[in-house]
Chain A
């Protein structure tokens, strides 16, 4: 064998460079700097002083911070739970219906269901606030003989209501992903199982669902990341104070109030970075669990097949 050393593959660097540079500059560097900032505190003169993990300790033990961060965490899991239990099964159900060849006008339904997710969140929040408003909503529902309770004003109902509004807006996205996966299933598989006497129910649970499991996993992770970064709907509908009485406070709104301040309360960049650090760790943990359990199992199955 003639030992001719291959030339260094410079083209790889050239092709990788734009993505690596942009990603490092705008994602990795700010992330690391934010984590650095969370280990500092500002002294009386405005100078940053290194305090290690004291900010995190303060966030979880200080009587002022503890109820806020625990409340935001709890609400965030409820918010995530609503999406996992309502949005994703609903999306799967709709996708199964709308990928069927026997439903007429399915592209129209798909477009209609997808439409809310391209609307501005400000518009969504405004319209729903109007519909549920005690002043305008009253006029809207009075002809139907319905008196609407103040859904967005009661601590018990505000968060589930906002969760369902968010589901209404976003259900089209996982639906489209599921539709794409379902359409990709070869007809032979379905037909063969039909010949073997499988009912429609069997076909869905034994053939289709196992084949789109990778998509189910991706949708789950996207929901997780999206929900723990959620902020805009709560902010536009309930303000940064997460009314009523912090009942709709998510990590995102807590971060906003802490970092930027609110009304007379001034913001604290270091404590804000600490809240952001907690958000980052939670999301990192969730994504790791996904990568090391769900995706690894899928890969193993794929190899065995």
Chain B
């Protein structure tokens, strides 16, 4: 296989014109890529970031390309922060159509479960299951107003488990139990709930590959498409698809966007 292909951004123009999205953890990595793709598709995007100093440049970059974006400070583990982010969105744009919960606490170094401390467990739960609850509850009334959608970022580890990151696999799996239940619960209200399980270049991936020089080659070798995804070009368009009318009959699903690394049922 040749070197990594140059990422090509899909032609997303107009798919989400007039729609409004919030993306948590959008100050970097996959969240940033999704936010940029949603904006490229015409959505106004609210960058919900724990640190404004990382979120605001993403919003500024979208505006410089002609898009509409603003940044709000939001710690997704705190329900009031999520409520405030949704309120700021409604105040600015008058609607919310797409809630993307992507933020996650760094999983930390590979450790067996018996060596993981209480603080790490609490942080992982706070940003995965508790934060998913906060995002879902705050967004629902607005999503239900006009066929909106909730998208959760999970992981292949949440489908097949993870020997290296067992806690991460656990909480990412827990999010899938939530999304399937909400798909059933909110379907009658016209609200779709889906998930994306990506493998992509993120700051965490940068750190992992820097610490383990063989990791990237091993990961590529176990991936049929033989490359690691680019957040904006590979993961973002899938979020656009799920947010768009093209996915109007899909709910309760998890799309593995990982170059084919996970090929389970």
Instruction: Decide whether A and B are members of one complex.
Output: no
* Chain A contacts to B: CB under 8 angstroms: none
